[in-house]
Amino acid sequence: MVRKVFARRRIDVLAYEGAYAAEVYGLVDILGVADSVLRVQGIVDHRVFDTRIVSVRRRQVRLANGTVIDAAAPRSSPDVVVVPGFGLLDAGDVADWMTRLDDETAFLRRRNDAGVPLASICVGTFLLAEAGALDGRRATTSWLFAAELARRYPDIDVRATSMIVEDPPVLTAGAFSAGQDLALHLVRNFADEQTAHETASVTLVSENRASQAPYVDDDLKVVQHASLADDVRRYLRHHLAEPYDLNALAAIFHVSTRTLLRHFSEATGTSPQTYLQQARVRSARRLLQTSQLSVGEIAARVGYLDAATFRKHFLTFTGVTPLAFRRDAQAGRWRDRPWK
């Protein structure tokens, strides 16, 4: 029986101190079952899901439950790197975790810059966010910490109750058991729908859960109040094409221009105007990668009145011109690769 030719997929699962064991091994095991499903039917004679548990630090890693596991070195060009979640108990501890896991975020930043698709489970999304892989993208995480993700990283379009969010080349999954949904999603996209269905049947994993909403318990949520700088960044990101006017911006938030500039600088290290230029360039990068719009059309869409000014700012923030960036994207050096 031959349904289609399934290529081997190299999937690295990033293990690190404090990662949830179930999120590391659960995904690996479900993908292993998918391989067995294909083999027992004679559809393939090789592993389709070539999973490897990797670490960027030591070869032995202590997981959240105290289990010490062996991990391999990351591969140079996997088809996807999956980031499990960690034992986050309080939203106020995110900063400490990010400091503790700075080697992992640096690794993910390099992988993202190289165009390697990334995926996360639960609060593993915070590591992708810290690495800059989610800037300007849609993403989800554990519903319990979605507000903190949105507060800490206002450039992300957080879908708080989604189970899976796909914004190529990044995949994010919701809380804890959503790692199972992510595994089936990978089976569905790297193999086919029938294999995903058969794998779900064998493992008793629910198929196609779309939302975390039925599990949300408002009594467990901690309300996080966004800062003035967070609100300003979110406003600027949603009004990219509008002319920058500091007086008008201050009036919107009922503060003086001096107060706005001080708070924004203290929180971000830059000015609202510079932040707006950066946000425009990020948006332009995505349009250059994913659309057929001309450079002039993209310039107008993100708020520049002429292509020359757009080119100047794009070159300042990326080191290349818009045309060079698009050429590199078409050559595969910047490409947002689909999950196929």
pLDDT digit of tens for each residue in the chain (340 aa)? 445 678 999 999 999 999 999 999 999 999 999 999 999 988 888 899 999 999 998 889 999 999 999 999 999 999 999 999 999 988 888 989 999 999 999 999 999 999 999 999 999 999 999 999 999 999 999 999 998 999 899 889 999 999 999 999 999 999 999 999 999 999 999 999 999 999 999 999 999 899 998 888 766 765 555 688 888 988 998 899 999 999 999 999 999 999 999 999 988 888 999 999 988 998 898 888 888 899 999 999 999 988 899 999 999 888 889 998 888 777 655 444 445 5
- For the chain, the domain total comes to 2
**pLDDT value for 176:** 96
Please indicate, yes or no, if residue 24 is contained in any of the structural domains: yes
* Chosen domain end from 220, 236, 255: 220
Please indicate, yes or no, if residue 183 is contained in any of the structural domains: yes
Q: Tell me: do 105 and 254 sit in the same domain.
A: no
Can you give the CATH number for the domain in which 252 is found?
A: 1.10.10.60
Q: Tell me: do 21 and 127 sit in the same domain.
A: yes
Q: Which residue type, as a one-letter code, is found at position 25?
A: Y
**pLDDT value for 5:** 73
* Chosen domain end from 200, 220, 240: 220
Please indicate, yes or no, if residue 35 is contained in any of the structural domains: yes
Q: Tell me: do 162 and 243 sit in the same domain.
A: no
**pLDDT value for 329:** 73
Q: Tell me: do 164 and 294 sit in the same domain.
A: no
Q: Tell me: do 54 and 101 sit in the same domain.
A: yes
Q: Tell me: do 138 and 276 sit in the same domain.
A: no
Please indicate, yes or no, if residue 4 is contained in any of the structural domains: no
Please indicate, yes or no, if residue 337 is contained in any of the structural domains: no
Q: Tell me: do 86 and 206 sit in the same domain.
A: yes
- Residue whose entry in the numeric block shows the structure tokens 């690495």: 131
Residue 339 φ/ψ, nearest 5 degrees: -90, 65
Can you give the CATH number for the domain in which 88 is found?
A: 3.40.50.880
Please indicate, yes or no, if residue 56 is contained in any of the structural domains: yes
Buried b or exposed e, range 174-196, using 16+ CB within 10 angstroms: bbbbbbbbbbbbbbbbbbbeebb
Structural domain of 305: 228-331
In the numeric block, which tokens belong to residue 299? Answer: 């310039």
Q: Tell me: do 235 and 212 sit in the same domain.
A: no
**pLDDT value for 335:** 43
Q: Tell me: do 271 and 319 sit in the same domain.
A: yes
Q: Tell me: do 215 and 279 sit in the same domain.
A: no
**pLDDT value for 247:** 96
**pLDDT value for 46:** 87
Q: Tell me: do 241 and 262 sit in the same domain.
A: yes
Please indicate, yes or no, if residue 115 is contained in any of the structural domains: yes
Please indicate, yes or no, if residue 46 is contained in any of the structural domains: yes
> Residue 173: in which H helix or E strand, if any?
strand 170-173
* Chosen domain end from 169, 186, 220: 220
Q: Tell me: do 13 and 83 sit in the same domain.
A: yes
What pTM, to 2 d.p., does this model score?
Answer: 0.71
CA distance 317 to 276: 12
Buried b or exposed e, range 26-40, using 16+ CB within 10 angstroms: bbbebbbbbbebbee
Partners of 62 in the beta sheet?
A: 68
**pLDDT value for 225:** 57
